Amino acid sequence: MGTHPESCDLLIRNGYVVTMDNGRRVFPAGAVAVNEKRIVAVGPEREVAAAWRGHRVIDAGGAPVHPGLIDGHYHVTMHGTRGAMSDDPAKPALGGAGGVSPYGQWFNAMTAEDEFASAQHASLEMLANGYTCFLEAGTVFDTDAVAEAVEGVGIRAVLGDPFLWDLTGGMAMASELDRAPVDLARCLSAIGRECRRNDDPDALVRGHIAVYGSGTASDELLLAGKEAADRHGVVLNQHQSLAPGGVAREDERLGRHPFVHFAELGLLADNTTYVHLNVLREDEVEAIAGSGMSAVWHPANYQFYAIGTAIPPRIPELHGRGVNVALGSDIAKLWTIGEGPLIGYLLAREWGGYLTAEAMFEMQTRAAARAAGLADRIGSLEVGKRADIVIRSRALGESHPGLNPVQEMVLVGRTKTVDTVIVDGETVLRGGRSVRVDEGAVHAASRASARRLAEITGQSPGTIWPETA
Ligand SMILES: [Zn+2]
């Protein structure tokens, strides 16, 4: 140790630093030092500032400083469907009587430009809400267009090969997409292609194995997915057990409950991530607990699809039993990205459970990093990790009186107080605005794309009130 401070690119000082490290340490008068793309020091400001001199210094004004948030499941090309798909449960967007479902039509009508526009809009909205990474659901056709959009905004994404499915009968949409036929041979030739992105250790957009799931994959496809995930060192990710109807069909096809089946196939492991898990029976809870798998929870979708009229939520219990639970937004249709913690907290309470604000925050950070297969690089503020950092503001009333800054931030202020976001050591959001893209242009492109797609697909969105010219 020399007596003079070493220089680094950036020193963030005067922060209430929430590290999310193994000890969940918090430094109320903390600092973070960043050099190039990585964190080089985290701790009490008196120690960090004595050891490091930043070329650039950001004064956090006493506000929380924490790792970038991570969305565990997002359909990034469906962001433009907001307002197009009806919020009326009598008009289901995922299918219903006859014809191609509204989502199916939308997927069929999208061009690469539409996917780019939606991904840019979604990424920008994520960034403004303190999100620096998301795990895509494997529902992008033109992954290069989406990668370009995401990288332009300056956040991370983990993409999958498009629509890997080989069974009909599990879900209507699986037989609706012109460009993604239900076909094992197609899937086996595509599987793992997105993992080529991981050859570049600095890639912001990486690849993983996404099988669509929810009864649309044969055992052969799932086992091929697991083998590919093991070989590439990534996660295998799929939808599972969204709603009672689909799960009943799977029970019948498999002759047992889906998670019991997956456990016997060896598909519940440290590198497998399942999304939804709204419908779980006792034997499935037992199979999941202790398996090492990750669960991605959409508490808003559990409510939106009225699952509670059929079966209680089991995720709070899984969390209590040590299962790695992350939050995902799926499609931010009636909510925006970052509202999961409040919704999840209240959902647990409604059923007599209790998840702390800290638990909800963990689901947005280190647990989500693990669910995305990136626990070694993001999800906490620790020396050696990538510098994905959010700096809050104390300008809003929701940041006060400051007796419990974590609870204020996670449940009360939520993402309103996000001020500055740093990804891979680079400031990409300052004062709540992107420093990389023209926000007006991004929004204009998304509006034009959504309007065109709504027209092609025959959606007639709009308020139920008369709009008078
Ligand atoms: Zn989904």
pLDDT of residue 5: 92
How far apart are the CA of 73 and the centre of ligand 1, in A?
6
CATH number, domain containing residue 412: 2.30.40.10
The pair of three-digit structure tokens given for residue 85, joined into one six-digit string: 């798909």
Of 455 and 170, more confident: 455
User: What's the gap in Å between 407 CA and the centre of ligand 1?
Assistant: 28
- Res 169: pLDDT: 82
The rounded Å distance from CA 277 to ligand 1 centre is 11
What confidence tier does 3 reach under pLDDT thresholds 50, 70, 90?
low
Do 187 and 258 share a domain, yes or no? yes
The alpha carbon of 342 and the centre of ligand 1 are apart by a number of angstroms equal to 20
Residue 357 has pLDDT above 90, yes or no: yes
Residue 86 has what pLDDT? 82
What separation in Å is there between the alpha carbon of 22 and the centre of ligand 1? 30
Instruction: Tell me the CA–centroid distance for residue 131 and ligand 1, in Å.
Output: 18
For the chain, what percent of residues have pLDDT higher than 90? 91
Ligand 1 centroid to Cα of residue 122, in Å, is 15
Q: 251 and 215, same structural domain?
A: yes
Question: How many whole angstroms from 325 Cα to the centroid of ligand 1?
Answer: 16
pLDDT at site 341 = 97
Q: Parallel, antiparallel, or unpaired: how do β-strands 389-392 and 64-67 relate?
A: antiparallel
As a whole number, mean pLDDT of residues 37-62 equals: 98
- Does residue 378 surpass a pLDDT of 60? yes
In this predicted structure, what is the pLDDT of residue 18?
Answer: 98
Distance of CA 456 to the CA centre of its chain: 29
Distance 44 CA to ligand 1 centre (A): 40
pLDDT score of 96: 56
How many Å lie between the centroid of ligand 1 and the Cα of residue 298?
A: 9
Instruction: Please say if the pLDDT value at position 307 is more than 90.
Output: yes
**Separation of 446 CA from ligand 1 center, angstroms?**
21
Q: Output the CA 304–ligand 1 centroid distance in Å.
A: 13
pLDDT surpassing 60 at residue 1: no
Same-domain status, 409 and 365 = no
Phi, psi angle pair for 23, to nearest 5°: -90, 0
Q: How far is the CA of 328 from the centre of ligand 1 (A)?
A: 9
Per-residue b or e along 444-453, where b marks 16 or more CB atoms closer than 10 Å to that residue's CB:
ebbeebbebb
Domain co-membership, 101 together with 171: yes
Give the environment of ion ligand 1: residues with CB less than 5 A: 137, 330
Q: How far is CA 351 from CA 150, 229, 276, 347, in A?
A: 38, 36, 17, 7
Give the span between the Cα atoms of 85 and 106, in whole angstroms: 10
Q: How far is the CA of 163 from the centre of ligand 1 (A)?
A: 12
Name the domain boundary from 371, 397, 424. 371
Task: Note the residue count of the chain.
Answer: 469
Quote the pLDDT of residue 27.
98
Burial group, residue 465, by CB count within 10 angstroms (0-12, 13-18, 19+) = exposed
Question: From ligand 1's centre to the CA of 332, what distance in Å?
Answer: 11
**Spatial separation of the C-alpha atoms in residues 342 and 300, rounded to whole Å:** 10
Identify the residue with better confidence: 285 or 461: 285
From the CA of 268, how far away is ligand 1's center (Å)?
A: 19
**Number of domains composing the chain:** 2
Does residue 343 lie within any of the structural domains?
yes
Q: How confident is the model at residue 288 (pLDDT cuts 50, 70, 90)?
A: very high
The Å distance, Cα 32 to ligand 1 centre, comes to 35
CA of 341 to the centre of ligand 1 (A): 18
Do 276 and 419 lie in one domain? The reply is: no
Q: CATH no. for residue 237?
A: 3.20.20.140
pLDDT digits (tens, 9 = 90+) for 260-281: 999 999 999 999 999 999 999 9
Mean pLDDT (the chain) is 96
Ligand 1 midpoint to CA 74 (Å): 7
468 occurs within a structural domain: no
Q: Verify that 350 and 402 share a domain, yes or no.
A: no
The DSSP call for residue 291 is S
Q: Looking at the structure, do residues 79 and 149 belong to the same domain, yes or no?
A: yes
- CA-based nearest residue to 150, from 169, 171, 136: 136
Is the pLDDT at 221 greater than 90, yes or no?
yes
Which residue type does 75 have?
Answer: H
Task: Please check whether residue 308 lies inside any domain of the structure.
Answer: yes
Q: State both tokens at 452.
A: 């065109």
The percentage of residues in the chain with a pLDDT greater than 70, rounded to a whole number, is 99
Residue 36 and residue 148 in one domain: no
The answer on pLDDT for 91 being more than 90 is no
Tell me whether residue 463 is in a domain.
Answer: no
Would you place residue 145 in the very low, low, confident or very high pLDDT band (cuts 50, 70, 90)?
Answer: very high
Q: Averaged over 248-262, what is the pLDDT?
A: 98
* 39 pLDDT above the threshold of 70: yes
pLDDT tens column, 94-143: 765 568 999 999 999 999 999 999 999 999 999 999 999 999 999 999 99
Q: What is the pLDDT of residue 2?
A: 55
Distance 266 CA to ligand 1 centre (A): 23
Smallest CA-to-CA distance from 328 within 51, 105, 136, 86 is with: 136
Number of alpha carbons in the 13 Å side-chain half-sphere of residue 99: 9
Residue where one domain finishes, among candidates 348, 371, 394: 371
Residue for token pair 């939804």: 276
Per-residue pLDDT at 234 exceeds 60: yes
Is residue 447 in some structural domain? no
For residue 316, pLDDT beyond 60: yes
User: Does residue 259 sit in the same domain as residue 199?
Assistant: yes
Q: What is the pLDDT of residue 90?
A: 80
- Predicted pLDDT at 429: 98
The more confidently predicted of residues 92 and 53 is 53
* Mean predicted confidence (pLDDT) in 345-365: 98
How close is the Cα of 275 to the center of ligand 1, in Å?
7
Give the pLDDT score at 95.
65
Predicted local confidence at residue 92, as pLDDT: 77
Q: For residue 413, how far is its CA from the centre of ligand 1 (angstroms)?
A: 26
Quote the pLDDT of residue 194. 98
The least confident of 33-47, 86-100, 143-157, 212-226 is 86-100
Do both 27 and 95 map to the same domain?
no
Assess whether 113 and 51 both reside in one domain: no
Tell me what the mean pLDDT of segment 439-451 comes to. 98
Residue 329 Cα to ligand 1 middle (Å): 8
Residue 83 placed within a domain: yes
Of 371, 395, 426, the residue at which a domain comes to its end is 371
Average pLDDT over residues 160-169: 95
Q: What pLDDT score was predicted for residue 88?
A: 84
Distance CA 331, CA 301 (A): 9
3-class secondary structure, 97: coil
- Look at the pTM and tell me if it is higher than 0.85: yes
Q: Which domain holds residue 311?
A: 69-371
Expressed in angstroms and rounded, the spacing between residue 67 Cα and the centre of ligand 1 is 24
- Position 293 in a domain: yes
| 95 & 164 share domain | yes
